[in-house]
Structure 1
Amino acid sequence: MEQEILHNTSSSQIKTSPLRGLGGDSIHVFAPATVANVVCGFDVLGFAVNEPGDEVIMRLTDKPGITISKITGDDGRLPLDPARNTVSVSVQHYLESVGRPDVGLDIELHKKMPIGSGLGSSSASTVAGLFAVKTLLGDDTDVAKLLPFAMKGEEMACGHGHADNVAPALLGGFVLIRSYEPLDVIRLPHPKDLYCAIVFPDVDVPTREARQIIRKQINMKDAVTQWGNIAGLVSGLFMQDVDLIGRSMQDVLVEPVRSILIPDFYKLRELAMNAGAVGFGISGSGPSVFAFARHEDTARQITQLLQRHLTALKIGSFAYVSTINDAGPRVIG
């Protein structure tokens, strides 16, 4: 199986084709949640899942400019001000790049996934908005051209424009960010029957704070270990070798620090591995954790065990089971 290479998609190199008319007056788009880092691949690996995700309804309006008329599912935490919302800010950057800065748009954002979950909540919203405006305006250029604009949203959301959430949310599948300067993204193959079990403990781990506690300096021995695991994980994906994928899901740099923020992390890992998980780790900055499994039944058993343990700790949780989502965003209405 060959990888798909998406070279040099920095915003300065984007040349979109002229917009050839409108794709209707409104559109309804879903974009998926993502698991970033994938244990050893801090800021360079991520994959999309089938659920949860966010939805955007976008309408053309006669009045120039972007408005956000409704946000649901956020408990009032997200701003309606288009200058402060990741979706509208990213869409505005896109409109300026294609020479349509005065297009009138109204946006409804429907959060179908937990905010601050470590599942790329801001990425899903941003990607849904960008895919919506691209489709609504009839722009048939490669969807990968939207990636730099999506990264603008990540920069606003967490202070760092990383792509390990937005790239898989936008492109679908399993993604490697080989380089950020210039931006060089590679879509990797993966075993089709690999299941992901995700559990989100209902505790607060803000992304900005989770990034700040990461060590700024590492020793060479740890770096070599990490490089070997990243190479092993990518090799396992290419070789369809689930055992190699599992052996490579070890993190000696970030997980030892971030695990402190997740209730009973090592007990959760023990439960998952004893139940047949291939590998286990933190999703993004947490607090969500995930495990790979060979079978759907095993994945569901893992989520049940982890939720049961969290309940005993008096911590609520949400659980999801999914294969890797190769589709990325899609129009649903």
Structure 2
Amino acid sequence: MEMKKVTAFAPATVANVSCGFDILGFAVDSLGDRVTVSLNDTNEIRVTRIEGDNGKLPLAIDKNTCGVAVNAMLKAMDFKGGVDIELYKGLPLGSGMGSSAASAVAALVATNRLLGNPFEKAALLPFAIESERVACGAGHADNVSPALLGGFVLIRDYHPLDVIPLNVPRGLYCTLVHPHLVLNTADSRSVLKQHVSLKDATTQSGNIAGLVAGLYQEDMELISRSLNDVIAEPSRSILIPGYEEMKEAIKTAGALGCGISGSGPTLFILSPTEEIAWEVSRRSQAVYEKVGLPIDVYVSAINTRGAYVVEEKK
């Protein structure tokens, strides 16, 4: 096998999508991580370089999501050679934008190409899920699935894994609002109720079904009515300053709705047009100027491509 380098990109993602706690996610454009992989002659997997993390991420392959994902993949194919991994972070850590998932997925897509594409794209998912156990203590798929496959994704079940790509309505846009604070997934999960009432479970189920139906019917009003989380958001929103004020500010702008991206602190707003997506971004900025908390704002179409190879070098 020729010695070469392959670089892949994997996008940021929004998990949960309000009512779809742990079972829904979608990918966004432009924002994401890049990973470059190459063969080495040591018969070891090594994370040799990380940029953009301010020195916070570990190089050890059993603690780095790239290393865990690639190691799982190589074990599955009984590959005995060595691979060097270089990670270039484009996503902030602890942001709720699927940072750990993007790193792992980009590493898998790059390594798969490096080794001659032994796996179909969707077959890489179990390896990516393994990497999430290192990042957040559990093997969730609601970030890694859309990062890999693109678009909206439903995780119907884990045993066995049943991941279903959903329709992406034409014209749908997302605004991401990232307050400059860090929320660990473990902390965000610690505030969740351990028991859910029958009333809330019924309401949540109806909203999930409505959101999926709205995506397929391209019914923006139905999507809007369904973007309501009665289980996680009431507890998690208190951890994010300015959220309720922003939610109120965008009501008259024509947005479909908003929610907490993953475990936060990033917030997402879905809009039926790009123009509205930019308007709610301006309103969000005005809210956070009053709150006194710096934010980053991104406007993006829904990414239907997912992760892909950027460059190959011999």
List per-residue Cα deviations over 1:130-184 (Å, max 9, x = no partner).
Answer: 1111111002432111111101111110001110000010111110000111110
The aligned amino acid for 2:4 is: D
> Are 2:41 and 1:62 equivalent residues in the alignment?
yes
Provide the secondary structure at the position in 1 that maps to 2:250. Answer: helix
The aligned amino acid for 2:41 is: D
Q: Check the 8 A contact 1:51/1:320 in 2, yes or no.
A: no
Determine which of 165, 176, 186 is the counterpart of 1:208: 186
The aligned amino acid for 1:82 is: I
1:42 maps to what in 2?
21
> Matches of 1:149 and 1:258 in 2, distance apart?
29
Task: Give the C-alpha shift of residue 313 in structure 1.
Answer: 2.1
Determine which of 96, 100, 103 is the counterpart of 2:75: 96
Determine which of 22, 28, 46 is the counterpart of 2:7: 28
> Are 2:134 and 1:156 equivalent residues in the alignment?
yes
> Matches of 1:177 and 1:219 in 2, distance apart?
23
> Matches of 1:245 and 1:180 in 2, distance apart?
25
The aligned amino acid for 2:159 is: E
List per-residue Cα deviations over 1:228-279 (Å, max 9, x = no partner).
Answer: 0000000001111111001000111110000011112111111122222111
Q: Check the 8 A contact 1:192/1:324 in 2, yes or no.
A: no
Provide the secondary structure at the position in 1 that maps to 2:87. Answer: strand
> Matches of 2:289 and 2:245 in 1, distance apart?
14
> Matches of 1:219 and 1:83 in 2, distance apart?
39
Q: Check the 8 A contact 1:278/1:294 in 2, yes or no.
A: yes
Q: Check the 8 A contact 2:8/2:34 in 1, yes or no.
A: yes
1:167 maps to what in 2?
145
> Matches of 1:29 and 1:139 in 2, distance apart?
13
Determine which of 167, 170, 177 is the counterpart of 1:192: 170
Q: Check the 8 A contact 2:250/2:283 in 1, yes or no.
A: yes
2:227 maps to what in 1?
249
List per-residue Cα deviations over 1:189-236 (Å, max 9, x = no partner).
Answer: 120210001110011111111112111101101111000000000000
1:12 maps to what in 2?
none
Q: Give the TM-score normalised by the residue count of structure 2.
A: 0.96
2:281 maps to what in 1?
303
User: Where do 1:110-125 residues align within 5 Å?
Assistant: 110-125=88-103
The aligned amino acid for 1:176 is: L
Provide the secondary structure at the position in 2 that maps to 1:332. Answer: strand
Provide the secondary structure at the position in 1 that maps to 2:19. Answer: coil
> Matches of 1:176 and 1:243 in 2, distance apart?
20
Q: Check the 8 A contact 1:273/1:280 in 2, yes or no.
A: no
RMSD: 1.1
Determine which of 51, 54, 57 is the counterpart of 1:72: 51
> Are 2:288 and 1:273 equivalent residues in the alignment?
no
> Matches of 2:45 and 2:123 in 1, distance apart?
21
Determine which of 219, 222, 240 is the counterpart of 1:262: 240
Q: Check the 8 A contact 1:55/1:111 in 2, yes or no.
A: yes
> Matches of 1:113 and 1:271 in 2, distance apart?
26
> Matches of 1:303 and 1:231 in 2, distance apart?
28
Provide the secondary structure at the position in 1 that maps to 2:175. Answer: strand
Gaps of 5+ in 2: none
List per-residue Cα deviations over 1:270-322 (Å, max 9, x = no partner).
Answer: 11222221111111111111111111121112112212321232211111111
Provide the secondary structure at the position in 2 that maps to 1:42. Answer: coil
Q: Give the TM-score normalised by the residue count of structure 1.
A: 0.91
Q: Check the 8 A contact 1:94/1:146 in 2, yes or no.
A: yes
> Matches of 1:115 and 1:53 in 2, distance apart?
12
Identity %: 49
Gaps of 5+ in 1: 1-20
Q: Check the 8 A contact 1:70/1:108 in 2, yes or no.
A: yes
Task: Give the C-alpha shift of residue 51 in structure 1.
Answer: 2.8
